[in-house]
Amino acid sequence: MEYITAPWREEYVKKLFKMKECIFCHALKQKDDVKAFILFRGIHNFIMLNKYPYTPGHLMIAPYKHIASFERAKKESTDEMADLLKLSLKILTKNYRPHGFNTGMNLGKSAGAGVSDHYHLHVIPRWTGDSNFMPIVGKTKIFLEDLKITYKRLLPLFSKEKRPIK
């Protein structure tokens, strides 16, 4: 069996065990979208940058409601999440020109969810060859831009979209 490591995420995992509050609820309570890296607010869901991304442009779409169960969520919320996924793919494709995407949810701790009590959808741009030896050998992940640059790059694109009134 082959194991794949992601040592750059160690800081994130350690913080999760210390956190007493959900990262999504915490981001919303900050009332500062720039500080929380929130790019877009819909009626039921919002889009934010992942603070510990796998690649530049790694987004997360989460409902405002703190709920673990996707299947128990209201249809309006899950339908909007799908629409926000489409919007995210469109904006990331236009701005980053990835070769593909990983999208999905880790529902439950055993499925790999770092935050298991507030379901969310990951949107991860991918490029051929974006995985290399640096994280494994050097315990270093190389990014061409930091979160503030990614936020400044994407915010105007999300801001152009029609925003429903919440």
**Residues 44, 58, 120, 122: which is the catalytic one?**
120
How many whole angstroms separate alpha carbon 49 and alpha carbon 37?
Answer: 6
44 is catalytic: no
- What contacts 78, CB < 8 A, 6 or more positions away? 70
As given in the structure block, the two tokens for residue 47 are 């889009």
Q: How is residue 71 annotated by DSSP?
A: T
CA angle 6–12–18, rounded 5-degree value: 140
Torsion angles phi and psi, residue 123, rounded to 5? -130, 110
The residues assigned a catalytic role are 120
